[in-house]
Amino acid sequence: MPASHTSHQERLATLLGHAIRDEPFAMELQKNPPGAARGLGLTLRIDEVVALKGLDIGQMAAAAQTLRSPLATRATFDQQQVRTD
């Protein structure tokens, strides 16, 4: 059982979210998942380490670029609006 009190999904979401925003972190995450996670105060299970070592940094960079596009920002904003009528 990991020392971290966050769930499996929360740990991976935190790591991947950080990797999308920070390309050097993404490269470190692929090379040394436990070390990169430790830098964020997280402890990984062995299955998480194996999954993260299989990351495709090229795909992650493309996803990050798409998420930073003006259209992605508008789409996110539209999804967050609440109807009041």
**pLDDT tens column, 38-56:** 999 999 999 999 988 888 8
pTM over 0.95: no
Burial 11-47 (b: 16+ CB within 10 A, else e): bbebbbebbbeeeebbbbbbeebeebbeeeebebeee
The domains of the chain are located at: 8-78
Helix, strand, or coil (residue 17): helix
Q: Is the pLDDT of residue 15 over 70?
A: yes
Reported residue count of the chain is: 85
Bigger pLDDT: 83 vs 23: 23
